[in-house]
Structure 1
């Protein structure tokens, strides 16, 4: 059985994630108390369900403390348990609640939206380290769906190395374990013919292949990661996210992320480009 747990901040896209999983054949349960996980999973096992997705968040706040032990107990039964934690910046969350005119789930005590977000972040502080974090601050719904689909298809019980390009002008991604700034590299943006292209295009690749500093940057990042990845395995980490940033997230960061994905092809690798449209 594969059990996907969806958690995170209100307004970060949990409903989008759950609907995507339901569309892909998962039996979905929204807002389940963590103390009921074992019983619900056992029930669905007897009914022959192989793929289950359950949302666990602050709507069942009194039971959240039980989530880590519940996950470990299920893993001990050889169940493939994965937690996806969705988050976004406070500014983006405030804007989303304002645009949709929805109440925050924690607003019953007379708190402002900003106060609710801070409280929820504190309540979930011990949860986000249990799984894979995704910062949805500047992600479209389509991009989030694509990322989650790839994530749940990844092999279990294997460290997943995520290379993620982004643009600094859009802000640092909250889900990054390492951030490498490649804005010091030559920028093809200033060549008119190359400006509309991305780091995935052949002309951009040729541009960077002719620049010695780009090769030096790649060598240094590869060396760093090869040195420290074994330590993350020893720490039983399931995911390591390496963010590569340039100004706009279109040329330099995309190229470097693509090359790193190739260099670490012997690992389980996921490749993401925050500022590019997801492939159709």
Structure 2
């Protein structure tokens, strides 16, 4: 393995890869917006030559390279190529993924063919085949982002928060969810709010959500909520400080209630506001709202 002093520290390479439909195009466009020199879908044998061409140009310090299944005839060479790049440049592999349901919906909205559609019988089979083919590259990635619950604006905001800041600070996502539909798979921290008094059983609040003031007022005035938020904030103040020292770049905080419409929504908004007080810029997602 190359010694750090042999690395070209003047260049930072982000390899953007992942599942088709998981947000690679949005990510590359966002990186380009914040000053990265971006190229997409170059065959692996050409990428090293491309980097050599940029070697003498100090203007291009941050470079993003998109690699995906469209160059599958060269795909087996991708990991070997990345290893070579890492020996010469400061490099990070960013892998974008999403669950099958999210990818299916995105393909139905765009009506574009999947890159593997000509090799399998249907779209679901294509997604499964691609996921299996990309698994070795996923396991080789420094950063994995699940974009299942992100819209393009939220993904763009997250990518900006990761790569545009002068100081590398943790990017925080706060997700509200309902236990009826399961815990978010990508959560780092999970808080359970099901013990709090439930607005659902108040007739005037049942059809409202945690975004509505009457529900918010009901939840936040409960003594249990006040104590719960106090413990959460104290814990996050401690944990986020530790994450910063560790250099952690990505934290997902999930707060759940039974249905994901009332208590968890209110608390997610409160937690996000507290995260802002720690000089961070959280993205809030209400998964089941």
Q: TM-score, normalised by structure 1?
A: 0.71
Q: Is this contact kept in 1: 2:154–2:283, CA < 8 A? A: no
**Larger displacement relative to structure 2 (135-144 or 9-18):** 135-144
Query: Which residue matches 1:152?
Result: 163
Residue 16 in structure 1 maps to residue 22 in structure 2: no
Aligned pair count reads 269
CA distance 1:192–1:132, shift in 2 (3 Å):
same
Whether 2:172 is the aligned partner of 1:162: answer yes
SS at match of 2:174: strand
Select the residue among 173, 193, 201 that pairs with 1:182.
193
Name the residue aligned to 1:210.
Answer: 221
Q: Once the two structures are superposed, what CA deviation does each residue of 1:35-69 show, in whole Å capped at 9, x if it has no partner?
A: 66555445334222133322122334213323663
Partners in 1 of 2:173 and 2:22 — Cα distance? 21
Measured in 2, the distance between the counterparts of 1:238 and 1:23 equals 20
How much does 1:247 deviate?
5.6
| Structure 2 segments unaligned to the other structure (5+ residues) | 1-10
Determine the C-alpha separation between the residues in 2 that align with 1:100 and 1:50: 34
1:198 aligns with 2:208: no
For residue 112 of structure 1, the aligned residue among 122, 147, 154 is 122
* Structure 1 residue 220 displacement after superposition: 4.8
Shift in Å at residue 221 of structure 1? 4.2
2:62 to 48, 51, 66: 51
Structure 1: where are the runs of 5+ without partners? none
Find the counterpart in structure 2 of residue 31 from structure 1.
41
Does 2:80 match 1:66?
yes
8 Å Cα contact 1:163/1:257 also seen in 2 = no
The range that moved more, 204-213 or 217-226, is: 217-226
- Shift of the 185–34 alpha-carbon distance from structure 1 to 2, 3 Å rule, reads farther
Query: Would you say the 8 A contact 1:6–1:55 is kept in 2?
Result: yes
Aligned to 1:252: 263
1:221-258 residue CA offsets vs partner (Å, 9 max, x unmatched): 45666787798789875423222234665653344344
What is the distance in 2 between the residues matched to 1:9 and 1:89?
Answer: 10
* TM-score of the two chains, using structure 2 as the length reference: 0.69
Tell me the SS of whatever aligns to 1:242.
Answer: strand
Which is higher, the Rg of structure 1 or of structure 2?
A: 2
